[in-house]
Amino acid sequence: MSTDVDVAVVGAGPGGLYAAIEALKHGLRVHVFDKKKLVGVPVRCGEYFPVRKEMEYLLPNARDYMTVFDVPEEAISNVCKTIRVISPKGDEYEFEFLSYVLDRTILEQGLAKQVEKMGGKIELQCPARVFNEHGNLLVGQTETTSLRSKIVIAADGFPSSIARTSGILTDEYVTPNNVAINYEYLMTELDIDQTVTEMYLGTKFAPGGYGWIIPKGNKSANVGIGIRTSYSKKNDGRAYLRYFLEDCPLTCDKLDGGKHGPMIADVLPVDGPLKRTYSSGVMAVGDAAAMVMPTNGGGIATAMITGVIAGQVAADHLQKNNPLSDYELRWKQVMGREMVTSTKMRRLADRVMGHDLLFHLTLKLLKTSGIRDVITCRAPHGLSLWTS
């Protein structure tokens, strides 16, 4: 059995790496596991990342954690100035919202180097599991090759095997209505406005979700769709994506002539955080805790913040004997209100998402200001009582 560590982090994405860095800052011994061959490869993400100013508006109680948004310049592929929402009938609603489009590979590999420079170890090609040996947590591929860790941080995405083993993730959450399946291409040779991020709504290509065009600069963009099977009439995500690229009247001319590489797919939780995000010796961060904003699908920022909080709580638990339940208290103080509002707004939107005309009319009623409120996790005027 390997040498004991203080913290084992499973998953070398933004949440896990920020958790590792924060724990190392407090003098803890940290070991990071990841199943990939290379940190940050492949990328399964739209890479959309609001700038610090926008995050201060989205999460006003997260000011103590805003340094995570000061990403290195080399990890920024593009800057977008506005968001344009397109209704099922083609109406457009555009508002200012400044954001980076990241190169997540560069970002995560830079964070990984920081972890190693600080004395942490990163073990790749190791899909780690958690074993319980007489009350001790063992982490690794097999029980005999595992190392003993005082605390485990689940940062292995959704659905998290670590969170499930620890009783944090239950079947109650994993339902067709709570989970979106995303299909995406990185496309090149596109003649599109590189300063505008576009969100497309419609049941013919994104039932229960939305389609996106997120420009990455140099005539390229992340182009994809998110669907929920509770809304889809056919069990074929590739067909929905193909329609969005080739036949959808809202996008086909814009995407005509574009080239793409392999399709990537992943799943995303869209019903707010898990009921409980910690258990005995374990904390879940980012997607592993379902820390995704349901009305916009954003998860990078919340992963980073919850990762930092988990690293701090790990140190306080081991050095000051503070309870791990502090983790849940802290992240709720930082983003709990916005998570609740975003979840309730998504559930309210469910009433119209299955009907294109009704959804189109709802957007027309909300107008640009109301749509901006929903996307930025606020209740539009007139709906605040429902979300309180």
DSSP secondary structure letter of residue 88: T
* Same domain as 322, residue 229: no
Q: What is the pLDDT of residue 107?
A: 97
383 domain residue, yes or no: no
C-alpha–C-alpha distance, residues 45 and 64, integer Å = 26
Q: What is the pLDDT of residue 234?
A: 82
* Same domain as 117, residue 262: no
CA distances from 289 to 46, 147, 306 (A): 19, 23, 9
- Please answer whether residues 349 and 338 qualify as being in contact, where contact means their C-beta atoms are separated by less than 8 angstroms: no
359 domain residue, yes or no: no
Residue 1 has pLDDT above 60, yes or no: no
CATH number at residue 295: 3.50.50.60
Q: What is the pLDDT of residue 361?
A: 97
Residues 251-304 pLDDT 10s? 999 999 999 989 999 999 999 999 999 999 999 999 999 999 999 999 999 999
- Please answer whether residues 374 and 366 qualify as being in contact, where contact means their C-beta atoms are separated by less than 8 angstroms: yes
* Same domain as 208, residue 69: no
CATH number at residue 207: 3.30.9.10
Range of the domain at 64: 2-73+104-174+270-342
* Same domain as 192, residue 262: yes
Q: With pLDDT > 90 as the criterion, what percentage of the chain qualifies?
A: 93
Q: Which of 269, 292, 315 is the endpoint of a domain?
A: 269
Please give the helix or strand (H or E) that residue 240 lies within, else none: helix 237-246
Q: Which of 212, 241, 269 is the endpoint of a domain?
A: 269
Structurally, the chain folds into a number of domains equal to 2
* E strand spans, 134-210: 136-140, 147-154, 179-188, 196-200
Residue 384 has pLDDT above 60, yes or no: no
* Same domain as 299, residue 153: yes
Residue 2 has pLDDT above 90, yes or no: no
Residue 385 has pLDDT above 60, yes or no: no
Mean pLDDT of the chain: 95
Residues 332-378 pLDDT 10s? 999 999 999 999 999 999 999 999 999 999 999 999 999 999 999 99
380 domain residue, yes or no: no
353 domain residue, yes or no: no
* Same domain as 220, residue 181: yes
Q: What is the pLDDT of residue 44?
A: 87
What's the whole-model pTM score?
Answer: 0.95
Q: What is the pLDDT of residue 387?
A: 44
Q: What is the pLDDT of residue 134?
A: 75
Cβ atoms within 10 A of the Cβ of 307, count? 32
Q: Which of 127 and 132 is assigned the larger pLDDT? A: 127
Alpha-helical (H) ranges within 93-211 are: 104-117, 161-165
| Cβ-Cβ contacts under 8 Å for 239 (sequence gap 6 or more) | none
